[in-house]
Amino acid sequence: MDGNGRWAKKKFLPRLVGHNKGLESVRKIIEYCIKYNVKTLTIYAFSTENWKRPIKEVDGLLKLFSESISKESKKIHSNNIKLKFIGDTSLLTKALQIKIKEIEKETSRNKRLVLNVALNYGGRLDIVNSVNTFYNNKKRIKKITEKDINSGLYTKGQSDVDLLIRTGGQQRMSNFLLWQSAYAELFFSKKLWPDFDEKIFVNALYFFQNTERKFGSVSKST
């Protein structure tokens, strides 16, 4: 979800106004996922590197997360959405951690859409955590397998990323779901996140639909 700050700057508004506007795009993409029958959506809300931003922006973002969880939780649950937070939530305030645990528990049986919110998330952190969990549990085993790493990731039990969408014009991963995106199709849009709309979403789906996924093998038509 890139481009909130630039969107605000273009309008001579504070960056936080851009983040607020970006939240509307989050609501929209959830709606499109349900409409087009996407089963899992992961949004990158805050990375392990985002703490480097000015304190005012970090505080504003965390306040926005906290408020929107409270405000949207009923709607999320009634829409049959399972909410899961991925990342190191232990650095968040106790109040926010409790809120997160509550809504995860409340929505844990929901089936229509799995919504992962990456909060204080880093792809490298995810892999390192997984390896550490493995060694803490099974100290005597010397070799670790891909399956072992998979089973310790924040996204354990979920499938790999099929389609990764990044708005805002940059073409990089920024430490997002590195392991899980090994064979993801990458879709980049120049549109800023607050301007995200159904047309971009459908374009991304078309792009995905028209890409043959070979997973390192050869084309079916060869």
For the annotated catalytic residues, the residue numbers are 2, 50
**2 binding Mg ion? (CB under 5 A):** yes
Give SS3 for 143. coil
**2 binding ligand IPE? (CB under 6 A):** yes
Closest CB to Mg ion among 57 and 185? 57
**192 binding Mg ion? (CB under 5 A):** no
Q: Minimum distance from CB of 71 to ligand IPE (Å)? A: 18
Per DSSP, 212 falls in state P
Q: Minimum distance from CB of 78 to ligand IPE (Å)? A: 25
Closest CB to ligand IPE among 47 and 181? 47
Closest CB to ligand IPE among 61 and 113? 61
| Crossing angle for the helix pair 55-78 and 94-106, to the nearest 10 degrees | 20
Inter-residue contact 37 to 114 (CB < 8 Å): no
Instruction: Give the footprint of ligand IPE on residues 193-212 (CB under 6 A).
Output: 193
User: Using CB under 5 A, which of the segments 2-10, 85-93, 129-137, 155-163 binds Mg ion?
Assistant: 2-10
Give SS3 for 134. helix
> What is the distance, to the nearest Å, from the Cα of residue 215 to the centroid of all Cα atoms in its chain?
23
Inter-residue contact 130 to 111 (CB < 8 Å): no
Q: How far apart, in whole angstroms, are the C-alpha atoms of residue 93 and residue 41?
A: 25
User: Using CB under 5 A, which of the segments 1-9, 14-22, 68-76, 113-121 binds Mg ion?
Assistant: 1-9
Give SS3 for 11. coil
**42 binding ligand IPE? (CB under 6 A):** no
Opening angle at CA 208, ends 207 and 210, nearest 5: 65
User: Using CB under 6 A, which of the segments 1-9, 98-106, 121-129, 150-158 binds ligand IPE?
Assistant: 1-9
Backbone dihedral angles phi then psi of residue 81, each to the nearest 5 degrees: -100, 135
Instruction: Choose the one of ligand IPE, Mg ion, none that binds residue 23, judging by a C-beta under 5 to 8 angstroms depending on kind.
Output: none
Residue ranges binding ligand IPE (CB under 6 A): 1-6, 22, 45-46, 50, 61, 168, 193
